[in-house]
């Protein structure tokens, strides 16, 4: 009888799932958009930008308003000329809005009114100068340009195509590489309420680059396309070729100058550089042109833009030149070098963008992307101060200029040779290399301030290109190398380690920018901000740029380990014994026969046994879900996926997956806080679940969890209560067990405390176990629209009885790859975003900064 009672009691205990679940709240989350609470205020943690940005636009009448949409699908606005940035994505939405915006455009009559288009065909509208945006229409195909009539904001035009995709859209002598779209231009004459379709020319397909509306005559439009320059006299209803004077008629970009007082209207254009065989060398056609008759005819202002390649000694520049020729002639470098062995004495580069100072018709800027667009000359930006008669390289960065190469030649062109660009943490890397990164964009504001993006930093010049300074970060004190981001980060955030043996030293992993630590704010005035410094990455020659997971020795906080998943030192274990000042590789675990920039294996949960620090563990995840997408190495030549362990302090490692299926995807693992020889692993594939090992990972056994759970993405154990939490769900949102489950009895029974289709992570506060944070991503493959609702950060202050959605201030609420409460304070929270850096969150009303530093 007693045995029967015991069995009933166990059954009742196991049926207690959902006992504390607020079903009404989660039903609401899965049926409608819920507004984020103001319980937590997030602010971004630096470094700023730290990624590629090719979409950056200045307001045409307000010098303080700037918009940018970097390549990690985050979008920001600044209303103080780049001193600070804020996300303009909808914190309550699914996170897909304003992704890769191709252009922002504002009315010239009403500065608050504007439109933005995304490359994917979305049209957004703002009525508050870009602080908030509403999707108002979706077009088929990709959109490349939107423009407003400068004299009448009823008239708007949209061009279709992929013109600005500099990584996939290149021109050669026979045509171009890149997809074309049906020949369409859209026109609205009622402020975007309705749109009409027209065609440009007779081609079935087209790639529209820019459209210009004559400010003196709303009927006259000029468009640059892959088919050439076209002109319309009837607001875009019909078009004719208008290329008189253009030698190539394959325009790259267009801009215009307009004087409101005199009504002077000048159009400026870059014509594609075409290489022409000339015996054993080449000549070029193309260059820079202007039109003073609204695009009817064009006259060259190329001036002395061509250079003598014989006067340039850089092998890097020569190699780029040969590659450019090879692509143009659609052959290989070896053949083109043999056929055109003599370097030309006059050659034009492959120019990409053109801008004219709106206050000075003679101040014209050009830029090229020498990394992605077959360009080759040094100097990211060139400029003319005399209307195109003479041209100079006005942004100069890197080893070529630092070393004063070819000084005499540049001085003969009256070109300065000093380096005139300053960067934040990227400075050592920029100084070590010749210019190989390319300029991403070129934009001038209403007051003539110039903006560019060299490699992964945005720079500003307020003195006509004499000097350029980064505007991504503030340095807390001169020379400190402590950086506070301005809020516009494009950094791929990764794992955060908040308990490192040194209070207030938190370690932050990133993709492409290495390993960081929090540090002193020094003279920085806002003590609620967080300063960081890079301890591995661009500051070190050969340093690791993509840090996936990090651990600190439990008895010596100066000993740090981390692992890289791509770029330099990928697949290796790095160790520092001096707090990150110097590093060495102590193990090489993974490799593949692919370029170094490609991803090998995503590594997670690097962990050190606190009792015996020689015991170390990590997971090599077969099915990564929160990391950046490919390209991946399809086949490893060294190492494999699964659970790894080391018993000699990380020098040698063995794969240990006994008890699991061959394709098991170990996503996360933790040590039992009472017995570090007991390990738990979250396995997130179709045959996955929660696994346990009682012999340091020697073999694994499946833990019994509710049958409806299919995928376990994370496991966490509270050190005080010993409560275990598993985060569940899948990318299709079909896992009926999705959410967060808690066990208070070492896995014997489980209760669901958080119910959403897909959860990446759940953690509790080390100082108060009632404080719980959860990361809910957007299920990227689901067809269920309700399952896509309300991704983001969630917080409970009462042990999971009630929850708040806390997305306000986050740049990517749908891609929070790591989130956790502060280890020392109950009113501070931290998160890492897939492409928007890190963030610190303060409870509402908190006035005290997180650190005493």
CATH number assigned to the domain comprising residue 731: 2.130.10.10
Residue 768 lies in a domain: yes
The pLDDT value recorded for residue 11 is 36
Task: Find out whether 633 and 594 touch, Cβ atoms under 8 Å.
Answer: yes
The pLDDT value recorded for residue 19 is 47
**E strands within 80-162?**
86-87, 101-106, 114-118, 122-126, 134-138, 143-148, 156-160
Mean pLDDT of 784-804: 97
Q: Report how many domains make up the chain.
A: 1
The pLDDT value recorded for residue 596 is 79
Mean pLDDT of 243-247: 98
Q: Is the pLDDT of residue 532 over 80?
A: yes
The pLDDT value recorded for residue 629 is 66
Residue 318 lies in a domain: no
Q: Which of 756, 793, 741 is nearest to 20 (CA)?
A: 741
Q: Is the pLDDT of residue 6 over 80?
A: no
Mean pLDDT of 794-811: 97
The pLDDT value recorded for residue 12 is 36
Residue 9 lies in a domain: no
pLDDT (tens digit, 9 = 90+) per residue, 663-683?
A: 999 999 999 999 999 999 999
Q: Is the pLDDT of residue 853 over 70?
A: no
Instruction: Extract the tokens encoding 484.
Output: 């506070």
Calpha distance 57→208 (Å, rounded): 18
The pLDDT value recorded for residue 417 is 94
Mean pLDDT of 589-599: 87
Q: Is the pLDDT of residue 603 over 80?
A: yes
Residue 785 lies in a domain: yes
Sign of the dihedral through C-alpha 242, 244, 250, 253: negative
The pLDDT value recorded for residue 631 is 66
Residue 812 lies in a domain: yes
Instruction: Extract the tokens encoding 381.
Output: 């930006």
Q: What are phi and psi of 325, to 5 degrees?
A: -65, -45
Q: Is 806 left (phi over 0), alpha (psi -120 to 50) or beta?
A: beta
Q: Which of 485, 480, 474 is nearest to 510 (CA)?
A: 485
Mean pLDDT of 764-778: 98
How many residues does the structure list for the chain?
853
Angle, vertex CA 670, rays to CA 828 and CA 719, nearest 5: 55
- Per-position DSSP letters for 293-331, written without gaps between them: STTSB-EE--TT--B-GGG---HHHHHHHHHHHHHHTTS
Residue 1 lies in a domain: no
pTM: 0.94
Which structural domain range is residue 804 located in?
22-35+476-843
Residue 676 lies in a domain: yes
3-state helix, strand, coil in the chain (%, to 5): 10, 35, 55
Q: What are phi and psi of 661, to 5 degrees?
A: -70, 160
- Which residues have CB under 8 Å from 785's CB, separation 6+? none
Task: Find out whether 390 and 384 touch, Cβ atoms under 8 Å.
Answer: yes
Q: Which of 56, 155, 156, 167 is nearest to 102 (CA)?
A: 56
The pLDDT value recorded for residue 852 is 74
Mean pLDDT of 568-577: 97
Instruction: Extract the tokens encoding 104.
Output: 């922002």
Mean pLDDT of 641-666: 97
Classified as helix, coil or strand, 417 is coil
Calpha distance 367→391 (Å, rounded): 12
The pLDDT value recorded for residue 434 is 86
% of the chain with per-residue pLDDT over 70:
97
Residue 757 lies in a domain: yes
Mean pLDDT of 66-89: 96
pLDDT (tens digit, 9 = 90+) per residue, 709-759?
A: 999 999 999 999 999 999 999 999 999 999 999 999 999 999 999 999 999
pLDDT (tens digit, 9 = 90+) per residue, 191-232?
A: 999 999 999 988 999 999 999 999 999 999 999 999 999 999
**DSSP conformation class of 786:** G
Q: Is the pLDDT of residue 13 over 50?
A: no
Mean pLDDT of 496-500: 98
Mean pLDDT of the residues in the chain:
94
Calpha distance 650→645 (Å, rounded): 8
- Per-position DSSP letters for 186-230, written without gaps between them: EEESSTTSS-EEE-SSS-SEE-EEEEEE-TT-TT-EEEEETTEEE
When computed from its CA atoms, the radius of gyration of the chain, rounded to whole angstroms, is 29
The pLDDT value recorded for residue 246 is 98
The pLDDT value recorded for residue 178 is 86
How, if at all, do strands 421-422 and 468-470 pair? parallel
């Amino acid at each position: 009888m007693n045995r029967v009672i015991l069995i009933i009691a166990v059954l009742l205990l196991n049926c207690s799932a959902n006992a504390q679940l607020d079903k009404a709240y989660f039903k609401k989350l899965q049926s409608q958009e819920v507004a984020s609470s103001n319980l937590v205020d997030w602010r971004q943690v630096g470094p700023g930008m730290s990624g590629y940005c090719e979409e950056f636009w200045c307001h045409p009448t307000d010098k303080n308003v700037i918009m940018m949409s970097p390549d990690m699908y985050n979008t920001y606005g600044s209303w103080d000329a780049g001193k600070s940035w804020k996300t303009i994505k909808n914190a309550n939405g699914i996170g897909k809005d304003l992704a890769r915006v191709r252009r922002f455009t504002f009315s010239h009559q009403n500065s608050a009114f504007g439109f933005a288009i995304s490359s994917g065909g979305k049209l957004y509208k703002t009525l508050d100068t870009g602080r908030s945006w509403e999707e108002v229409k979706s077009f088929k195909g990709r959109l490349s340009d939107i423009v407003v009539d400068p004299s009448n904001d009823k008239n708007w035009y949209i061009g279709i195509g992929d013109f600005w995709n500099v990584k996939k859209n290149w021109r050669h002598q026979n045509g171009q590489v890149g997809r074309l779209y049906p020949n369409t231009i859209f026109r609205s004459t009622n402020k975007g309420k309705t749109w009409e379709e027209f065609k440009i020319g007779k081609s079935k397909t087209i790639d529209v680059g820019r459209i210009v509306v004559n400010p003196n005559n709303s009927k006259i439009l000029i468009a640059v396309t892959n088919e050439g320059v076209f002109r319309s006299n009837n607001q875009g209803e019909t078009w004719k070729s208008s290329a008189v004077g253009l030698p190539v008629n394959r325009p790259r970009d267009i801009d215009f100058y307009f004087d409101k007082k005199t009504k002077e209207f000048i159009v400026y254009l870059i014509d594609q550089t075409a290489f022409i065989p000339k015996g054993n060398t080449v000549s070029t056609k193309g260059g820079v042109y202007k039109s003073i008759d609204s695009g009817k005819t064009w006259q060259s202002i190329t001036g002395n833009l061509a250079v003598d390649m014989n006067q340039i000694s850089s092998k890097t520049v020569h190699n780029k030149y040969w590659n450019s020729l090879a692509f143009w002639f659609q052959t290989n470098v070896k053949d083109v070098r043999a056929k055109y062995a003599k370097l030309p004495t006059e050659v034009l580069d492959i120019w990409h963008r053109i801008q004219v100072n709106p206050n000075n018709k003679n101040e014209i800027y050009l830029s090229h992307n020498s990394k992605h667009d077959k360009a080759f000359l040094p100097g990211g930006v060139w400029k003319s101060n005399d209307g195109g008669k003479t041209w100079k390289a006005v942004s100069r960065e890197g080893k070529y200029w630092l070393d004063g190469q070819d000084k005499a030649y540049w001085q003969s062109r009256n070109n300065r040779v000093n380096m005139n660009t300053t960067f934040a943490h990227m400075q050592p890397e920029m100084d070590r290399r010749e210019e190989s990164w390319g300029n991403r964009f070129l934009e001038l504001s209403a007051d003539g301030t110039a903006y560019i993006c060299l490699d992964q930093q945005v720079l500003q010049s307020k003195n006509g290109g004499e000097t350029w300074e980064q505007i991504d970060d503030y340095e807390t004190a001169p020379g400190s190398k402590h950086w506070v981001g301005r809020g516009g980060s494009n950094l791929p955030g990764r794992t955060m380690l908040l308990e490192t043996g040194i209070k207030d030293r938190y370690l932050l992993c990133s993709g492409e920018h290495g390993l960081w630590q929090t540090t002193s704010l020094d003279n920085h005035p806002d003590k609620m901000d967080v300063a960081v410094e890079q301890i591995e990455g661009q500051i070190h020659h050969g340093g690791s740029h993509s840090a996936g997971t990090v651990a600190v020795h439990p008895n010596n906080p100066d000993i740090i380990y981390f692992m890289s998943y791509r770029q330099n030192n990928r697949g290796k274990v790095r160790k520092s014994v001096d707090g990150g000042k110097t590093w060495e590789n102590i193990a090489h675990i993974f490799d593949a026969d692919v370029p170094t920039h490609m991803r090998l294996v995503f590594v997670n949960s690097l962990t050190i046994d606190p009792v015996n620090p020689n015991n170390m563990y990590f997971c090599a995840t077969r099915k990564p879900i929160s990391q950046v997408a490919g390209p991946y190495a399809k086949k490893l030549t060294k190492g494999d996926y699964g659970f790894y362990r080391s018993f000699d302090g990380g020098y040698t490692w063995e794969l240990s997956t006994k008890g699991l299926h061959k394709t098991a995807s170990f996503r996360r693992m933790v040590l039992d806080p009472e017995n570090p020889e007991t390990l738990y692993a979250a396995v997130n594939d179709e045959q996955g679940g929660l696994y346990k090992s009682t012999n340091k990972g020697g073999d694994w056994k499946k833990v019994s969890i509710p049958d409806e759970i299919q995928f376990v993405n994370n496991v966490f154990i509270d050190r005080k209560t010993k409560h275990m939490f598993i985060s569940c769900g899948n990318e299709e949102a079909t896992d009926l067990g999705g959410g967060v489950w808690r066990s208070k009895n070492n896995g014997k029974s489980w209760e669901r405390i958080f119910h959403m289709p897909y959860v990446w992570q759940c953690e509790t506060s080390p100082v108060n176990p009632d404080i719980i944070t959860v990361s809910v991503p957007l299920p990227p493959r689901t067809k269920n629209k309700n399952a896509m609702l309300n991704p983001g950060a969630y917080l409970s202050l009462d042990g999971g009885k009630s929850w708040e959605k806390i997305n306000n201030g986050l740049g990517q609420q749908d891609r929070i790859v790591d989130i956790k409460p502060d280890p020392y304070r109950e009113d501070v929270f931290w998160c890492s975003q897939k492409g928007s850096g890190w963030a610190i969150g303060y409870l509402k009303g908190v006035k005290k900064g997180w650190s005493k530093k």
